Structure 1
Amino acid sequence: MDSLINAAGRALAAGDPLGALKRVALRDDAPALALRGIAMAQLGDFAKAKALLKDAARAFSPKEAVARARCVVAEAEIALVSRDLGWPEKALRAARATLQSHGDRLNAAYAGSLEARRLILIGRLDEAERLLADFDPAPLPPVARVAHELAAAGIAVRRLRTKAARSAFGRASLAAYEANIPALKTEVEAASLVLNTPVGRLIARGAEKALLLDEVEALLGSGALVIDACRNVVREADAVVSLATRPVLFALARALAEAWPTDASRELLLKRAFRARHADESHRARLRVEMGRLRAELAGLAEINATSAGFELAPLKAAEVVVLAPPVEEEHGAVLAFLTDGEAWSSSALAIALGASARTVQRALEQLSGEDKVQAVGRGRARRWMMPPVTGFPTVLLLPGPLPTD
């Protein structure tokens, strides 16, 4: 490489995209195109960055496999930042394999961390964890260590391993300060806020309390019977009963838990489960049927007894019954949960992350837009959705992926 290419590369490594562009802005050779693409990505012009990197990959000769693979990794990073989750992961895996086979351990490790962070976003935590386990981040440069530790922290947060998450964020912070790149420091600081922000609400005995991540972890390990409204499951220590596909049963379980240790009236249960304003005998008959089904689902955890006024929940072993609810509850809370990361998402990327149909997500976004809770930027296929971060509404407990004991 010539001196200008080397100088531009050093400027980009130091987080100075304008300094890099001063050196290669007028050049159209393959290395310059690649560096220009990375610079435009650092400046936030992702569309231009992707176009330049594609041109660079085509400009490199077939013998320059490592250079081509690096362009693919850079494209993948732009796709991750711009929440283009439909970007072909096979291309990234192939690029990582190429880099490994040619001894470029640094960029191979960085490609692995990018792949892991994408897997985390779509809830494939086991795959992400296995991927990160293959790398020792200690010998890596600071920027690559930050990417690795943020991925490790993301897994720990979603698995409610608060101590491990705090350690990973600490290592990421040290690496970011060692790199001395302001944008990197800001990214780590913003990501670590989840440890000190309420991520759930405890509802018990008629009172509510905001919970931090470590408090949620302690609650789930306390032995209490937890009606988890973040995942629509009932938990007690290692025992988990999923009611995610049984919304009526979960609504009944939550109503019984919120009334505990007293009973819940039939009128309340009918309203919560069936939204029945004026209950008739058919509603009451259906309530008895659904209570029988709920009783069967919770057979190993609790009994459901009929009372003169309604029904009561009687745990078999647990001393307490509590409800774990999201910080904010509304109809399209899962969509809002993803958008609170401050990034611009496409509707297709949200559909992939949520495991929902594209049309379902589009309808939710249109409704939220009509309520001025989200805003669209761009048109057609370039349209992206975003919202400013909402205090007290982090995404952790609403994001896909299993919690401990799942």
Structure 2
Amino acid sequence: MDSLITAAARALAAGDPLGALNRVALRDDAPALALRGIAMAQLGDLVLAKTLLRRAARSFSPKEAVARARCIVAEAEIALASRDLGWPAKALDAARATLEQHGDRLNGAHARHLEVRRLLLIGRLDEAERKLSELDPAPFPPALRTVHELVVAGIAMRRLQTKAARAALALAEVAARRAGIPALAAEVESASLLLRTTAARLIARGEERPLLLEEVEALQASNVLVVDACRHVVRDPGMAISLATRPVLFALARTLAEAWPGDASRDMLVARAFGAKQADESHRARLRVEIGRLRMLLQDLARLNATKRGFVLSPSRASEIVVLARPVEERHAGVLAFVADGESWSSSALALALGTSQRSVQRALDALAATGKVQSFGQGRARRWITPPMPGFTTTLLLPPPVPSE
């Protein structure tokens, strides 16, 4: 490798893309194309970066497997940054295996982190945690160690483990300072901010107040029955019942919890669960059926008794009943949460992350755009959606919950 390529690579490692471009901007050989692609990615021109990296991968000879693998990893990182979640995970896995087989452990670890970050983004926490546990961060240089600790913190925050998240962010801050890369330091600060902003709302006895993430964690461990509207779960310290696939039953449970210690009227329950403005006999009959189903599901957590005007929920073991609600109640909150991370999203990537159809996501985006909450740029398949991060609260609890291992 010649001196200009070496100097450009060192500049990129130090977070100086302009310095790298000064050395290789006029060159079209494969190593220079790869470095130019990474530099353009650091400068934010992801489309040109992807084009340059693909040209570089084609320009390397078949014998240069490591160089080709590095280009694939770099392209995967660009795909993640541009929220193109449909990029082939198998290609990244093959590139990682190639790097590890040829002794390039650091770039192999970087590829593993990209896999984990994608899994974290789409809510597959168990798989992300398993893959991350296969890495030993001790020999990592400061920049890679920063990325590792940010991923650890991200998983911990999604699992409501704020102590572990703070510890990981403290390590990330130290590593970012040692790396001397401003963009990394800014990413650590942004992640730390999530612990200092509103994560949810507590609704109890007719009043509500905002909660930080660590307060949400403390609430989950306290002796209360929590109807969790963030994850659609009813839980006390002993057990949890998921109603994620039973929206009518969850609406009933939430209405009863908000009315506690009083009862909820039948008209209110019908309105909240079925969307009827006025209850008729068919609604009341259906309400009796759904209340019976809810009573069976929650029998180990609470008693559900009839009153003269409706029904009342009484905890079996807990001292009181509260509702944990999202910081902002929004019909399309899942879509809004992803778009509000400040990155540009395609409707196909959102559909993949949310586990729903692209048509449903497009309808949600159109509805949000009509109210000015999101905006788009580009046309056709290049169309992307974005909105500034919502001020004052974290979107952690707006994102899809972990798949039920919890």
Question: 1:3-402 to 2 correspondence within 5 Å?
Answer: 3-402=3-402
Matches of 1:9 and 1:2, distance apart in 2 = 11
Q: Residues 238-280 of structure 1: CA distance to partner in whole angstroms, max 9, x if unpaired?
A: 4111111211111111110001111111121122112222222
Matches of 2:405 and 2:69, distance apart in 1 = 39
Write the letter of the residue equivalent to 1:72: I
Matches of 1:256 and 1:33, distance apart in 2 = 62
Matches of 2:242 and 2:143, distance apart in 1 = 40
Deviation for aligned residue 1:392: 3.1
Q: Residues 195-247 of structure 1: CA distance to partner in whole angstroms, max 9, x if unpaired?
A: 11111011011110111111111111113111010111111124111111211
Write the letter of the residue equivalent to 1:320: E
Q: Which 10-residue stretch deviates more, 222-231 or 234-243?
A: 234-243
Matches of 1:355 and 1:375, distance apart in 2 = 22
Deviation for aligned residue 1:143: 1.1
Matches of 1:264 and 1:361, distance apart in 2 = 34
Matches of 1:316 and 1:66, distance apart in 2 = 61
> Contact between 2:232 and 2:243, CA under 8 Å: does it hold in 1?
yes
> Contact between 1:225 and 1:321, CA under 8 Å: does it hold in 2?
yes
Matches of 2:276 and 2:8, distance apart in 1 = 67
Write the letter of the residue equivalent to 1:274: F
> Contact between 1:159 and 1:403, CA under 8 Å: does it hold in 2?
no
Q: Residues 261-319 of structure 1: CA distance to partner in whole angstroms, max 9, x if unpaired?
A: 11111121122112222222222222111111111111111111001121100111111
Q: Which 10-residue stretch deviates more, 293-302 or 396-405?
A: 396-405
Deviation for aligned residue 1:145: 0.7
Matches of 1:96 and 1:88, distance apart in 2 = 13
Matches of 1:189 and 1:95, distance apart in 2 = 31
The count of corresponding residues between Structure 1 and Structure 2 is: 406
> Contact between 1:264 and 1:310, CA under 8 Å: does it hold in 2?
yes
* Secondary structure in structure 2 of the residue aligned to 1:199: strand
Write the letter of the residue equivalent to 2:9: G
Matches of 1:383 and 1:155, distance apart in 2 = 30
Matches of 2:404 and 2:219, distance apart in 1 = 12
Q: Residues 110-166 of structure 1: CA distance to partner in whole angstroms, max 9, x if unpaired?
A: 111111000101111111111111111121111111111111111111111111111
Q: Percent identity at matched positions?
A: 70
Give unpaired runs (5+ residues) of structure 1: none
RMSD: 1.2
Matches of 2:275 and 2:393, distance apart in 1 = 27
TM-score (norm 1): 0.98
> Contact between 2:194 and 2:393, CA under 8 Å: does it hold in 1?
no
> Contact between 1:340 and 1:393, CA under 8 Å: does it hold in 2?
no
TM-score (norm 2): 0.98
> Contact between 1:77 and 1:114, CA under 8 Å: does it hold in 2?
yes
Deviation for aligned residue 1:78: 0.5
Write the letter of the residue equivalent to 1:338: F
Change (3 A) 1:238 1:354: farther
Matches of 2:140 and 2:165, distance apart in 1 = 20
Give unpaired runs (5+ residues) of structure 2: none
